Amino acid sequence: MGKATGFLEYQRETACELEPLERIAHWREFTAVLSADKLTEQGARCMDCGTPYCHTGSILSGMASGCPVNNLIPELNDLVYRGSWEAAVKRLHKTNNFPEFTGRVCPAPCEGSCTVGLIGSPVTVRSIEKAIVERGFAEGWIVPEPPEKRTGYRVAVVGSGPAGLACAAQLNKAGHLVTVYERADRIGGLLMYGIPNMKLDKQVVQRRVDLLSAEGVSFRTGVEIGKDIAAEQLREDYDAVVLCAGATKTRELPIEGRELAGVHQAMDFLTQNTKSLLDSGHADGAYLSARGKDVVVIGGGDTGTDCVATAIRHGCRSVVQLEIMPQPPLTRQPGNPWPEYPRVLKVDYGQEEAAGLYGSDPRRYLVSTKRFAGNSAGEVQEVHTVQIEWQSDAAGKLVPVEVPGSSEVLPAQLVLLAMGFTGPEAELPDQLGLERDERANVRAEYGKHATNVEGVFAAGDMRRGQSLVAWAINEGRQAAREVDRYLTGSSRLP
């Protein structure tokens, strides 16, 4: 694959980005595609390793190793190296319905298991993936491909995030009549409202939605199943129902002062910001503004980073990001060998922007939030914290232990809780009488996706819990195959 000595001759280069202080002045995407010549070199770095792990999509030590949608990455790299772009577009879409999404927001576990990364920097798989699909759209190679004939079977998909869209796309390819229900006013789920525009431009999402619509998928927005339409009604109206409503129940922080004005869930902050941006360019003021405020973000994951970057674009006075876990090491540790996903310190775009604006990384590790304090008007003003250490208790379980004398008070007029999600909302599963697992997710065997209720399937975060966009696409595709098999007795869907 590629050039046999390419990994020795060429250095890793990623898509160019605007400088932090330049990009924080707008809400546009700030990452460009490399030139064709540079992409040829990057494709050449794929080293024909013989036993590639980049496309495996396995779970090692609780984390993804390799591509969850099983993109045939060595083949893609070779096609780009040889200039066979149209063939690369076709090959990429055989495994991934939405490479324009994963090429922007996936943390690239494929790169973490790249063999070149054992001796240097891994192949720029994510950049190549994005370049392939954008070339496909630019050249007019990606066009609507409606099925030649219809089966007459009707399928309802609840939720229009990556799992729901992937499931709908595959079922439509099989000739079924698919209707996607979304409670928000726009299609896309977390792709539309959970990820900021500068990370994933919403025109990119709408471009794919328009393509699916042209292929025959029906979309209904502003409809919440279980409230606007009874869940049981879907079972009566459709031959199968696929639940892809996500894991949207946010994790709470039940401490003193949680009720104060100015303490919000991160997803409310991000959703309102993007909706206002799309509706009016923020002219309607219908969002939680960080302008002129000291902002404290509690949580160190991707959502926390998105909050940091969004608050900076609002014009916040300061921003601090608190993480209860220790700072990751700078390099792989013995307990985290290749091809596991590398648990090392990464500086994401939000931290880069905060450092460029304020002079330092906003993250503080091993910090526990004790309480919020407010003023007489009931508005948050302070976050009281303490440093902790993780120690083993009598049962050998790691527990946080406060460090004496380490208390600190942080100014804050806006606090954003970005601590993840605890599972799907209960109303819909309860209405249908669905079994739940120990984490409150809808119980359905991976790869089968059938629930305990006849004709009802589940996929994505609603089934597996909070996870990656790539895993959601993977599950949506698998659920579609199983629904097709349920309806027709067999399936040719991958």
Mind spelling out the 3-state secondary structure of 309-366?
HHHHHHCCCEEEEEECCCCCCCCCCCCCCCCCCCCCCCCCHHHHHHHHHHCCCCEEEC
Q: Is 217 in a helix, a strand, or coil?
A: coil
CATH number of 6-138: 1.10.1060.10
**Phi, psi dihedral angles at 93 (to 5 degrees):** -75, -10
Q: What is the pLDDT of residue 221?
A: 98
Q: Determine the topology of domain 154-248+422-488 in CATH.
A: FAD/NAD(P)-binding domain (3.50.50)
Q: What is the pLDDT of residue 398?
A: 95
Judging by DSSP bridges, how do beta strands 414-417 and 263-265 pair with one another? parallel
- For residues 155 and 480, the answer to whether their CB atoms sit within 8 Å is no
Element (H, E) at 104: helix 99-105
DSSP assignment letter at 116: G
Say which residue the tokens 């000595």 belong to: 5
**Token representation of residue 305:** 């980073």
**Token representation of residue 494:** 């991958």
Element (H, E) at 10: none
10-residue mean pLDDT series, the chain (494 residues): 86 91 96 93 92 92 94 96 97 98 97 92 96 98 98 98 98 98 98 98 98 98 97 97 97 98 98 98 98 97 97 98 97 94 95 97 98 98 98 94 98 98 95 96 97 98 96 98 98 96
Q: What is the pLDDT of residue 119?
A: 85
Q: What is the pLDDT of residue 384?
A: 98
Q: Is 109 in a helix, a strand, or coil?
A: helix
Q: What is the pLDDT of residue 1?
A: 61
Q: What is the pLDDT of residue 71?
A: 97
In 3D, which of 487, 480, 453, 493 has the Cα closest to residue 153? Answer: 487
b/e burial code for range 36-50 (CB count within 10 A of at least 16 → b): eebbbbbbbbbbeee
Q: What distance in Å separates the CA atoms of residue 165 and residue 172, rounded to the nearest whole number?
A: 10
- For residues 171 and 488, the answer to whether their CB atoms sit within 8 Å is no
- For residues 48 and 2, the answer to whether their CB atoms sit within 8 Å is yes
**In the chain, which segments carry CATH 3.50.50.60?**
154-248+422-488, 252-419
Q: What is the pLDDT of residue 15?
A: 85
Long-range contacts of 377-382 (CB under 8 A, 24+ apart): 377/261, 378/259, 378/260, 378/261, 379/260, 379/261, 379/262, 379/413, 380/257, 380/260, 380/261, 380/262, 380/263, 380/412, 380/413, 380/414, 380/415, 381/411, 381/412, 381/413, 382/409, 382/410, 382/411, 382/412
Q: What's the N-to-C CA distance of the chain in angstroms? A: 24
Q: Determine the topology of domain 252-419 in CATH.
A: FAD/NAD(P)-binding domain (3.50.50)
Q: What distance in Å separates the CA atoms of residue 375 and residue 412, rounded to the nearest whole number?
A: 11
